[in-house]
Amino acid sequence: MADRSWWRLQALILTSLLLLLLTIATPAWLRLDGMPPSWPVLWLLPWAVVEGPIAGALAAVLVGLGFDSFYGQGISSIPVLVLLALWWGQFRDARRPLERSTTLGLQALLGSLLLSASFALQLHWRGGSVALAWQVSLAQALLTALLAPVVCSVQVLLWRRLTPDDGR
């Protein structure tokens, strides 16, 4: 049990660091119209589905703080990421768990669109250009939805394997 918790902590730290690294240096072949996928959504969705709403919301705050330090300019992703984590965390105890790759892709699409809409709304409140934000958000949401079935399915398997069996 303690060995499994140690591996889980290591996996959590390594995937979080990989998440930040991919944000900084997304390869050109993983971009659509110059936009990378929404890496926070691709990481947070499987974590919240496996760990539940509270752990998901806590991870969303930490990931949001990391990403907000990259974005700067007073635009925050924390509120939307926390809401998404609370929503996705509800699937942990659902009668039919969220596991299918198409469902993960649709959830990632919705999550990416909501995150982008939050950024567009914050830009609108600051007097920025919203039309460009929507073009960027559609490209990012499409790419996120295309990558989610593969990326999120692997992560769901990883987190389920590393999560202690406690009757779930």
pLDDT tens, residue by residue, 88-105 = 998 876 656 656 778 889
Confidence of residue 66 (pLDDT cuts 50, 70, 90): confident
Tokens, residue 151? 């990326």
How many angstroms separate the Cα of 110 from the Cα of each of 5, 34, 47, 113, 164? Answer: 31, 20, 16, 5, 29
Task: Report whether pLDDT(167) > 50.
Answer: no
Distance separating alpha carbons of residues 105 and 102, to the nearest angstrom: 5
Strongest mean pLDDT among 50-54, 83-87, 151-155: 83-87
Domain spans in the chain, listed from the N-terminal domain onward: 2-162
The identity of residue 50, as a single letter, is V
pTM of the model: 0.86
User: What does the pLDDT read at residue 4?
Assistant: 65
Per-residue model confidence as pLDDT tens digits over 106-152: 999 999 999 989 988 888 888 777 777 777 788 899 999 999 999 99
User: What does the pLDDT read at residue 41?
Assistant: 95
Mean pLDDT score of the chain, rounded to an integer? 84
Cβ distance 78 to 16 under 8 Å?
no
Distance separating alpha carbons of residues 101 and 20, to the nearest angstrom: 24
Task: Report whether pLDDT(11) > 70.
Answer: yes
User: What does the pLDDT read at residue 1?
Assistant: 52
Coil, strand or helix at 2: helix
Coil, strand or helix at 161: helix
Tokens, residue 135? 């073009």
Topology of domain 2-162 in CATH is: Arp2/3 complex 21 kDa subunit ARPC3 (1.10.1760)
